[in-house]
Structure formats: structure tokens, C-alpha cells
Amino acid sequence: MERKKLGVAVLTVALCGAVAGGMALAGCSTSPGADSKAPATGGTTTPEVTVGANGVSHIADWEKVYPLQTASFLNGANVIEERDGDDRSHSHALLAEEMEAFIPDATYSVRCMGCHSSWFKEITEAHGTSTDVMDSPMASYQDEFPNMEFWDCRTCHEDDPANILTPTNLTFKAVSKSYDFPEKDTVCGQCHSATSENLWETDWDAIDIYRNGVSADGLFQTFLDSEAEGLSKPVPGGEGGYITKYDEETGLKYYGGGSVVDLENFQGSNHQSLGLTCASCHMPQTTAEDGTVYTSHDASGSPIENPVALEYCLTCHKNQGIESPEAMKEFVLGKEDELAEGQLWMRENLETLKSAIAEAVASGDVDEATLDEARMAWSKGSWYLRYTYGHEGENVGRKAAHNFDQMMNLMQQGRQIVSEAIDSLA
């Protein structure tokens, strides 16, 4: 496939409600909200906004109406170097640059834009969702849709940020039939989930990723079932994070490539039971210098680096004797360290198990049934690790606050599974 850069009409930044981590219903409202466990849902009137080409309004139009939200979103790009140094996040506001770094001489395919652009909807509605369309360069549709851009308000709010909260990701809607997530979770979850279309090699309508629930074990069983049914297939020598991989030398299979398992992991958490959503911590209600209360749209960073978010945490955590933002930060970092210890053990011992499997295959001294059990242990342990990471990467412990107890239990279960598999090959 010929690679060429997406045209200059695709803007680098997306403003207002498009961040996958943000989702207050009236998140773009400039009206003050009440002090509550979840961000207020504010005003009910959408100011008049110019409608651009193709009958669609654009981020530059919304910037004029919601300047505070726009400024907060762009602030994520302003502090990106500081955040990268802490290895905590990328910036949603620098999506185009990051896509180009991830895909050298980038041709952003329509497939990629299922999460990265609301224009995915326009393209697939016009041309369908065949493999040819999904793998074609986004740039090939530039003439047809001259104002294509990366994330914009429509991704979470359609064309009405003050009143509408809804995920527009067609892939998510198609493959998540069996689980009714809270609406305020699905706006983030439409991208921050295990539903990446890249996992599958069949029509979306044939997929039912949550048929076994949203737990790590349930999703893992769905991966196995889907492979057995021919709905997905591990790719030998698969590269990148978006392919379910198969290693021919060892027979190991790595499931869940492309998953960003924040939505599923958050379900049933202590924070969710208190009525919080992703926006509660990642997009806290913020007060401007003139006293206006608005929803921050700088959702890219860690809440423990955000003084407003830390103050919000204290509304509950003071009951635990945590009295200051500094103490709150130290509390969270302590939990991250606990989780990181388990994740680092798992990462190291998965490599030990992989080496043991490779040696057993090469020697021929281990029966195939034992090898298959060890392979399954490696696959499950790898998935547990990814589930607690939230994504592939080196950021051990970083998402402990999403569902600490569940993550710790998974690391304990994984430790037992992997240890027994290593012992079986000794």
C-alpha cells in the first residue's frame, strides 16, 4: 500500500469534547455546576455555531463558543514534555504528530480512524466497512471530505456539545452487544476498550466481544472462542500492538493486541460504585479566573499531577485521614508501587516461562499436553498483565486507581498460574 501523509486539511488538534477520556454530559457548558460526586451536567442551550462543509460543524467553530474548554485541551500539548519525562501520558492534542511517529511516512488508514477521527463515520457510511475500505488511506478520501480532521467535538457530542453525550465509534457499537455500560463510561470506552476492530477478521455483526462479560477471564474466553469459531486468527510473526500474535517457534499466542482495557477494568470498581466516571478525575470541574465553572478538557494527563483533581479526590479520601493534595498524591503513588511490584514480577516471569517453553520445544523432552498447558498459562498471564496495564507499555502501576483491588487479585492469580507452568517444565 502506498503511504502518503494525510492532507493539510486534517487539523493537528481536536477541541472540546473529543478526548476519549472525557465525558461530562454538558462538559462543554460554560455554566457553573453544583458540587457533587460526579461533574455537573449544566446548561441545556447550544449556542449558534456555523455549519461547515458537508453540513458538519468543525472544531474551529466550537472554539469560539467554548474558549475555556479549548484552552484547557490545548494545555495538554503545552506540558507534554514534562509528562513524557514522567512516562505517564501522551497528549490528545498532539494526536497527528503521535500518529506520524507511530507510522513513519504515515498513511493513516480508515481502520485507524475508527478511534482517531469522527470522520470515520462519514467515510464508512458512504463506502461501507469492507477490508478494502478499512485498509485504504484516509488521505484518499480528502477530496470527498475536504474538511476532515482528527478528534473533534462530534466524537463525544455529535453536533450538540451542550446537550448530547454519545459515542460515535461505529466499531464499538457493533461489537459490544452483550453488555450495557453506563452511558457516561461508553464515551471514553468507545476507544479505551478491548473492542479494537483490528482484533477481528470478519464482519462486525458476527462479533459479540462481551458475551462472556467484561472481566479479564471473560474477555480471554471470548478471544479463545472467537479463534475457534474462525472470527479471529492469531497472525504468525504479527507486528505491532494491534494484531493477535502467534509465535511459530514456541507455539505461543498473544491475545488482546490493540486493547486499551480501561472501560472494562473500571466496571465494578470502588470509584464507579460511588458514582464517579472517567471525567470525574480526568476532566474535573474547574473554576476560571472570572469565576466561571467549566469542565476541563485536558484529559491526557494523570489526575495526581492536577491540583484540581487532587482536591476533588479529597472530598472522599479525607475520611481515610488524608488531609492535603500532597498526601493524596503520596497515597496514590503508594498504591501504584504495590501494583507495579506484581506487574514487574509477572513481566519478568513471563519471559522466564517463554524461555522454558522454547527450550522444551527444542529438546523434545516434554510431552505436548504439558507444553500446551504451559502455553495457555503464558497467554493468560500476558493478558492479565495487559488488562492491568490498560495498554501495552512500560507504565507499571500507573492505572492502579482505576480498580486497584481487581488488579491486585489478577496479579496474584497470574503469579500462581505462571509459577505452576514454570515448575511443570523444570
Contact by Cβ (8 Å): 260, 390: yes
Whole-number Å distance between alpha carbons of 110 and 133: 7
Of 299, 414, 386, 321, nearest in space to 69 by CA = 299
Q: Residue 418 is placed in which grid cell?
A: 505462571
pLDDT of residue 281: 94
Alpha carbon distance, N-terminus to C-terminus of the chain: 46
| Burial (Cβ within 10 Å: 0-12, 13-18, ≥19) of residue 265 | buried
Cβ-proximal residues to 168 (8 Å cutoff; 6+ apart), any chain:
118, 121, 154, 155, 156, 158, 190
Cβ-proximal residues to 131 (8 Å cutoff; 6+ apart), any chain:
none
Mean pLDDT of all residues belonging to the chain: 80
Whole-number Å distance between alpha carbons of 268 and 192: 16
Amino acid, res. 306: N
- Taken in order of first residue, the domains within the chain and their CATH numbers are 1-174 (no CATH), 302-425 (1.20.140.10)
Contact by Cβ (8 Å): 114, 93: no
Whole-number Å distance between alpha carbons of 335 and 339: 6
Q: Residue 165 is placed in which grid cell?
A: 453525550
Whole-number Å distance between alpha carbons of 159 and 56: 8
| Burial (Cβ within 10 Å: 0-12, 13-18, ≥19) of residue 365 | exposed
Of 227, 218, 221, 269, nearest in space to 246 by CA = 227
- Find the mean pLDDT for residues 188-217: 84
pLDDT of residue 39: 33
Q: Residue 277 is placed in which grid cell?
A: 466516571
Looking at the chain, the number of H-run helices and the number of E-run strands are 18, 5
Best mean pLDDT range from 222-226, 252-256, 261-265, 418-422: 418-422
Amino acid, res. 218: G
Of 129, 110, 14, 4, nearest in space to 61 by CA = 14
Cβ-proximal residues to 251 (8 Å cutoff; 6+ apart), any chain:
357, 361, 371, 372, 375
247: β partners: 252
Q: Among residues of the chain, what percentage have pLDDT more than 90?
A: 43
β-strands 293-295, 285-287: how paired? antiparallel
pLDDT of residue 8: 30
Residue 3: pLDDT over 50: no
Q: Where are the alpha helices (DSSP H) in 245-317?
A: 262-266, 270-273, 278-282, 307-317
- Find the mean pLDDT for residues 385-395: 79
Residue 224: pLDDT over 90: yes
Of the pLDDT bands very low, low, confident and very high (cuts 50, 70, 90), residue 412 is very high
Residue 425: pLDDT over 80: yes
236: β partners: 246
At 284-319, the pLDDT tens digits run 999 999 999 999 988 877 899 899 999 999 999 999
Whole-number Å distance between alpha carbons of 7 and 233: 34
Q: For the whole model, what pTM was predicted?
A: 0.84
Residue reference for cell 500446551: 372
